[in-house]
Structures are given as C-alpha cells and as structure tokens.
Structure 1
Amino acid sequence: MTLLSPEHVANAKANVDAFFGVAGKAFEVVEKLVALNLQTVKATLAETQENLTKVSGTEPQQWFTLQAGFIGPSAEKSLSYGRQVFDITSTTQAELTQLALTHYERYNDRMQALVEEAAKHTPAGSEAAIAAWKSAIAATTTLCETLQKTGQQALQFAGSNLDAVTASKAVRSNGEQAPVATGAKR
C-alpha cells in the first residue's frame, strides 16, 4: 500500500478548494438571479394591479390610450432587467475566468517542473521528445491566453451593444417627450 506524498495531498486539497470555489460562485449567481427575478415579478404584479385599477374606471375608448402609456415604462424596465442580468453574468464570468486561470497556472507550473525533471533523467537522444513536450505546453498556454482574450472581447462587445441599445432608447424617449414645433414661421 502506498501513501500519498505531501505534494499529492496539497494538489488534492487545491483541486477540492477550486471545485468548492466554482460551486460557491455558481450558487451566488443563482441566488442573485433568483433575487432579481423575484423582485421583477413582485414589481410587475404591483404595476399590473395599479394599471388595472386605472383602467377599471375608464371608458373602453380610453383603454387604448392608457395601454399605450404602459408600453414605454415596460420597455425601460425590460432594458433595466437585461442590464442587471448582463452585469451579474459578466461579473461571474470574470470571477470564474480568474479562478480557472489561477488553477491553470498552477497546473502549468507543475507540468513544466515535471518536464524539466524528466529532461534531467532521460537518456541521450531524447531531446526531441522533451522539446515536443515543452512546445505542447507553450502552445496550450498560448491557446488559453487567446481564449481568455476572445472571451473578454466578446463580453465587451455584448456590453457595448447593450449600452448602445440603452442609449438609443434614452434618445428616443427624450425625443418623444420634447415638444415638437409645428407650423412655425420663418
């Protein structure tokens, strides 16, 4: 029966810690999204009740006018909700990326140390195999860095698109509220 070395125990502990770190982040996200959804449902129910109260004492012809007044605030709330979901998911993505990067860096360091140790104890003529290992490690590192940068760019792109939609909505809202002069003489 073999006993685990202190290094194996430390590695196992690091892996367990990484797992619970990711699991904890996942539960935090679920908790935030559930809280946001409960808040949204509660606000929607209150707003619906208020709107029904307004509509109940009106003539059927006025319903359409009132209904049109409900659309603008609903669209703004929908954009706000989307922004909050985006903020939660982008923050979580950044935190999970950092956890994965930290774990990968530790793993990469261990692999490089293993290759260096193997290089010391290999027979003559195995330099090509060691060079191939080192090249594979370098390629994997480059791939991980590229994937991380691509993920960040995609997140920035999505954020800028959401900002553009929000700004566009704000401009349209301000344009609709501003009085338009008609029939002005020059």
Structure 2
Amino acid sequence: MPGPSKEQFVAAQKARAAALYSLFETGFKGFEKLVQLNVEATRASLAENQAVATEAVSVTSPEAFFTLQSRQTQASNEKLQAYWRHVNEIMSEAGSEILATSEKQIDEYVRQSQAFFENLFRNAPAGSEALVSLWKTGFGAARDAGNATYENAKSAARQAVEVIDKADKTVSAKA
C-alpha cells in the first residue's frame, strides 16, 4: 500500500508553517495598528494638556476655571469614547481577518486530509475491507467531532464580536 511520498509530506508541513505564520502576521498587523493608535492618542493628549494648562494658568476667576474644567471633562469623555471605538474597530477587523484566514486553512486541511485517506483506502490491499471500513467509520466520527468543535468555536467568536459591537453602541448611545 503506497503511502504519501516524502515530498508530499514536506510540502504539507511547509504549507502548515506558512499558514501559521500568516495568522501571526495578521495578528501582528492588528497589534501594530493598536500601537500606532496609542502613539497618536498620547501625542494628542500631551498637546491638549499643554494647551489646557496654559489656559488654566491664565484664568482670572473661579467661574472661568470651573467652566474650563467642565469643558475639558466633556471633551475628555468624547475623546475616550472615540479612542475605544477605534480600538474596537481594530480588534474587530483583526478578528475577522484571523477568522477568515483560519476558515480557509481549516477547509484546505480537511480537503487534503480527505483526499489523503480516500487515496489510502483506494489503494488498500485485497482482504482488508473490514479494517478499511473500521478506519472509515473512525475517521468519519473524528471528522464530525472536529466539524462540530470548529462550528462551536466559530459561533463563539462571532458572539464575542457581537457583544463588543453591542457594548460599543451602548456606550456611544449614552454619550
């Protein structure tokens, strides 16, 4: 019974490694966006704080000081909400990209596995029909269990994204 060739095995391992690093790269792109957002937010915050401090020093009455403080509190709340909306967008985008990439890779892996086992079963020696039937049943059950686990994980990921989106909309609506 001929099995997979060494070249096929090496090619499959290379494909899996490339797929894994593709996921890492997608996650890292999201991380880079978060870092860039934080750098920009920090830069803007420093500039705004300097302007507010300069204005606070020149305030001549308590009423003007409290007006400035109230205005800054409202502006800070709006900026904080905008910041978290950006974080949510980045995380949702990265999560969607990772989910889409994972789906493609899992589909390809399942397709290749099925083709491998079908080829293996087709080339089984005569008289091994009972063993082949047992293996098919076992692999079918494993495939079904894997599909169920995959669907549950996909559903949980989608629900998490929906919860984050709903929380963002709730916070935005209260503002």
Bin the TM-score by the shorter chain: 0.7 to 0.9
Q: TM-score, normalised by structure 2?
A: 0.84
Q: Which of 134, 140, 154 does residue 140 from structure 2 map onto? A: 134
| Higher normalized contact order (CA 8 Å, seq sep 6+, divided by chain length) | 2
User: Counterparts of 2:89 and 2:111 in 1: how far apart (Å)?
Assistant: 33
User: Counterparts of 1:36 and 1:17 in 2: how far apart (Å)?
Assistant: 29
Does residue 149 (structure 1) correspond to residue 162 (structure 2)? The answer is no
1:5 maps to a residue whose letter is K
2:30 maps to a residue whose letter is V
CA drift at 1:49:
0.8
- Please state whether the residue corresponding to 1:58 is helix, strand or coil: coil
CA contact (8 A) 1:22 1:96 kept: yes
User: Counterparts of 1:129 and 1:8 in 2: how far apart (Å)?
Assistant: 21
User: Identity over the aligned pairs, expressed in percent?
Assistant: 25
CA drift at 1:115:
3.2
2:53 maps to a residue whose letter is L
Does residue 166 (structure 1) correspond to residue 158 (structure 2)? The answer is no
CA drift at 1:94:
0.8
Number of aligned positions between the proteins: 166
Gaps of 5+ in 2: none
2:144 maps to a residue whose letter is A
Question: Over residues 89-120 of structure 1, what are the superposed CA-to-partner deviations in whole Å (9 max), with x where a residue is unaligned?
Answer: 11011111111111111211222223333444
CA drift at 1:60:
6.3
What is aligned with 2:108?
A: 106
User: Counterparts of 1:111 and 1:19 in 2: how far apart (Å)?
Assistant: 18
CA contact (8 A) 2:27 2:98 kept: no
Q: Which of 105, 130, 139 does residue 125 from structure 1 map onto? A: 130
User: Counterparts of 2:69 and 2:103 in 1: how far apart (Å)?
Assistant: 50
User: Counterparts of 2:111 and 2:95 in 1: how far apart (Å)?
Assistant: 24
CA drift at 1:43:
0.7
2:49 maps to a residue whose letter is T
Tell which deviates more after alignment, 139-148 or 4-13.
4-13
Tell which deviates more after alignment, 12-21 or 34-43.
12-21
What is aligned with 1:177?
A: none
Tell which deviates more after alignment, 98-107 or 17-26.
17-26
Provide runs of 4+ in structure 1 moved above 4 Å: none
